[in-house]
Structure 1
Amino acid sequence: MTTSPSHPFRGVFPAITTPFNADGSVDHGFLREHARWMMAAGCDGMIPLGSLGETNTLEHDEKMAVLETLVDALDGKPVIPGIASLSTAGGVRLAQAARDVGCGGLMALPPYVYTSDWREMKAHMAALVAATELPVILYNNPGAYRTDFLAPQIAELAGEHANLRGVKESSGDVRRVTALRAILPESVDILVGLDDAIVEGVAAGATGWIAGLINAYPAESVRLFELARDGRAMEAAELYRWFLPLLRLDVVNKFVQLIKFVQEETGHGSARVRAPRLELTDAEKAEARAVIEAASGRVPVGVGA
């Protein structure tokens, strides 16, 4: 465990998937079991209701039920939900409701659909950060949300809001980590948001990882982060070479379907998704299955299933 009160966002945080029953409802029994399984592998908290959690397909009451289940399951370890909404007011309401059910932090996303200039995006993010006293991660993913928060802009926001304590950097450019580390206060942690950039991101100064394939491979993910963090370059490189074909499933358009399919194939979940997403085609499943089977035949020594 690497989190502390002064650095609540250091370590490994699964972007946990949302499991669904055959009738499309949320499978809370599996959600609880799955979260505890990943925490037992050495994770430092849980991030539900993100992109991987299909938050845009969940109604407000479903989101709150997910948070209540996870807060109870983690028994004091931080639950850090994604806060995303079409409107600023909706995001503020969700942030406050998350606080009220016991979440330990928040991950603030830019608004769905609408994108604009820094003045408007800053106002939106500032409202989410100021909605509660909880520590907040700013989520920068220009590829997905069409809003790109640059290092000076994030530093401006952090200078005005002491509870902005983390940045999830998902631009795909590890130079952003270097730029952020050079300009942000030491109290603000930088977390890698793309699975196939974790070793490079840590080398550039990141101190956390919000991970996707961890939903199927928690022990391997935690081990990789620890090796990179501790400067054990040769061991990290060996594990990374094995893991990269799987980690690259996190950075394509159907990453939600693919990661859930990997969970199902490895016995750690279901491939069910909610529309507008559809489950993978047979050809896509065959391609993903080949990646899984190749990896399963050469698991590095020292990491478990």
Structure 2
Amino acid sequence: MSIDWRGVMPAVTTKFTNDDQLDFENFELNIEAQLEAGVHGIVLGGTLGEASTLSDEEKSELTQGTVQIVSSKVPVLINIAEQTTKAAIAAAQKAEVDGANALMMLPPMRYKADARETVTYFKEVANNTELPIMVYNNPVDYGIEVTLEMFEELLACNNIEAVKESTRDISNVTRIRNEFGDRLKIMTGVDTLALESLLMGADGWIAGLVCAFPKETVAIYELQKAGRIQEALEIYRWFLPLLELDINSKLVQNIKLAEVATGIGTENVRAPRLPLVGKEREHVLGVINQALQNRPQLPDYKKHLV
């Protein structure tokens, strides 16, 4: 089993009702907007998806619901972020039963595993599922870096196919490509380095602000892919103040507020998160409103969609 690791894959937010239940009505509204814009996959249960607050039952319900909504138009990925190898294997196998097409997988949570432990953790999960795996390499936020030497060992597992590259080191895209060629697909995971990473050879973009601005995000990817770099750059320059809302501890609240502004989401978050208030809220709304006032007219990017 394999998927096409390319294009824009939104790390979607999880929608909640006013009484803190899964809100599939607003979730479907957002997913349909993503599909209409031309995204290439849907990633569930990441940081933006408030994964740490979701029960196993909710993750399962979310996966099954998303599979039904997308109806095989694009692959559905679910994030694995567990504290034990046993729990990670169980989560991967449940995702397979629920209909997920692939996994995004973080190193062990809480415990700072060393290189040997981290490699063993990934391998144990890979050897106990048929689903393709994208390793989420984010040492800035999660404290463990998956190095090139570690990937050399991991690629012995045929279903470890991609990396979500979030080291913030733009040259790492080139290092990975030089070392592994096309064997390890590269999905950039930092919104504020997205175009730079794509131009350096990344295959795609696991995106955040796409949750509120799907067409602009896909347009940047498709235009640069078609060699229309200047057009992509103009949109990206407009987008950057919004993209910076993603590299912030309140990224969930920020992006959900942006979803409200574009009419494809709600502001409901799950405690301990709370909606933004005061000057913090005013600042984020200012960034969003400024962007909406200057929202670019997009060129016809869809003719490049495959």
- Given the two structures, how large is their TM-score scaled by the length of structure 2? 0.94
Equivalent pair of 1:110/1:121 in contact (CA under 8 Å): yes
Tell me, yes or no, if structure 1 residue 57 matches structure 2 residue 63. Answer: no
Aligned residue in 2 for 1:258: 254
Displacement of 1:230 in angstroms is: 2.5
1:164-187 deviations in Å (ceiling 9; x for gaps): 111001111111111111112413
Q: After the TM superposition, which residues 130-209 of structure 1 pair with which residues of structure 2 at under 5 Å, given as runs? A: 130-158=127-155, 160-209=156-205
Give secondary structure in 2 for the equivalent of 1:81: strand
Q: Structure 2 CA distance, aligned partners of 1:254 and 1:219?
A: 23
Residue 164 of structure 2 aligns to a residue whose secondary structure is strand
1:210 to 2:206 alignment: yes
CA contact (8 A) 2:3 2:101 kept: no
- Structure-1 separation of matches of 2:159 and 2:2: 11
* 1:6 to 1:275, Cα distance in 2 relative to 1, 3 A: closer
Matched to 1:92, the amino acid is I
1:47 aligned onto 2:49:
no
Mapped to 1, the partners of 2:214 and 2:278 lie a distance apart of 27
TM score, norm. by length of structure 1:
0.94
* Residues 243-300 of structure 1 deviation map (CA, whole Å, 9 limit, x = unaligned): 0000111111111111111111222111111122222122111101111111112222
* Letter of the structure 2 residue corresponding to residue 208 of structure 1: G
The answer to whether the 8 Å contact 1:108/1:137 transfers is: yes
**Structure 2: runs of 5+ lacking an equivalent:** 301-306
Q: Which of 106, 109, 117 pairs up with 1:109? A: 106
Task: Give the whole-Å Cα distance in 1 for the aligned partners of 2:125 and 2:32.
Answer: 28
Q: 1:276 aligns with which of 272, 277, 294?
A: 272
Deviations 1:109-130 (A, max 9, x none): 1121111210011111112222
The alignment status of 1:11 with 2:7, answered yes or no, reads yes
For structure 1, the 5+ residue unaligned runs are: none
Question: Take 1:258 and 1:129, find their aligned partners in 2: how far apart are those partners?
Answer: 34
Letter aligned with residue 176 of structure 1? N
Using the TM superposition, give the Cα deviation of residue 131 of structure 1 relative to its aligned residue in structure 2, in angstroms.
2.2
| Preserved contact between residue 192 and residue 208 of structure 1 (Cα < 8 Å) | yes
1:292 maps to 2:277:
no
The total of aligned residue pairs comes to: 299
Q: Following TM superposition, by how much is the alpha carbon of 1:152 offset from its aligned partner in structure 2, in angstroms? A: 2.5
Paired with 2:296 and 2:260, the residues of 1 have a C-alpha distance of: 22
Query: 2:135, 2:162 within 8 Å by CA — same for their partners in 1?
Result: yes
Match of 1:25 among 3, 21, 26: 21
Q: Deviations over 1:200-225 (max 9, x none)?
A: 10111101100000010000000011
Report if the CA contact (8 A) 1:152-1:183 is conserved.
no
The question of 1:89 aligning with 2:102 is answered no
CA contact (8 A) 1:78 1:105 kept: yes
Between the aligned partners of 2:172 and 2:180, the Cα distance in structure 1 is 12
Runs of 4+ in structure 1 deviating by more than 4 angstroms, as ranges, are: none
Partners of 1:203 and 1:248 in 2: how far apart?
19
Aligned to 2:124: 127
Deviations along 1:45-83, one digit per CA (max 9) or x if unpaired, are 100011110111001001000001001001012111101
SS of the counterpart of 2:67? helix
Contact 1:84 1:111 in 2 (8 A): yes
Kept after mapping to 1: 8 A contact 2:85/2:125: yes
Contact 1:87–1:111 (Cα < 8 Å) also in 2: yes
Name the SS of the counterpart of 1:36 in structure 2.
helix
| CA distance in 2 between partners of 1:301 and 1:37 (Å) | 18
What is the DSSP-based 3-state SS (H/G/I as helix, E as strand, rest coil) of the residue aligned with 2:221? helix
